[in-house]
Amino acid sequence: MTLTEDQRRLVVESFAPLVPIADQASTYFYHRLWEIAPETRSMFGSTDMAAQGMKLMQSLGVAVRAVHDLDSLTPYLRDLGQRHIGYGVAQEQYPLVGTALLWSIERCLGDDYTPELHDAWSATYALIISIALSAYE
């Protein structure tokens, strides 16, 4: 699976407006995740959700910055997958995470979230997760 140059450009450009509202974007993400996958809420027990939200946005930023060379992220993404195994995240939950992520991006970007942007983020998430899930093998 590969991304087109246009998809890469769209992801990079659309991430920029999310950076100043990272707190809001991560709040949307976690609330949506817990809505569609309530069993995931217990994974965060006594977690500082503000700090967790920043980790989410930082990880997403790492991926966005490397979107032109995602192969360079392979060690990082495999480590991320390995850590999530330790947190009790099941492979089957990754599509739900993707759904929550895309929903939160759409919510933050409003009318700027076009079908092409949706496809670009979907393809990017699928590629990132395919690498992270290799840790489960």
Looking up residue 112, the CATH number of its domain turns out to be 1.10.490.10
At residue 71 the predicted structure's pLDDT band, cuts being 50, 70 and 90, is confident
At residue 54 the predicted structure's pLDDT band, cuts being 50, 70 and 90, is very high
Q: For residue 64, with 0-12 CB atoms within 10 Å meaning exposed, 13-18 middle and 19 or more buried, which class applies?
A: buried
* Overall number of domains in the chain: 1
Is the pLDDT confidence value at 82 over 80?
yes
Q: What is the pLDDT of residue 45?
A: 87
Mean of pLDDT over the chain: 94
113 within 8 A of 105, measured Cβ to Cβ: yes
**Residue 125: which domain range?**
5-136
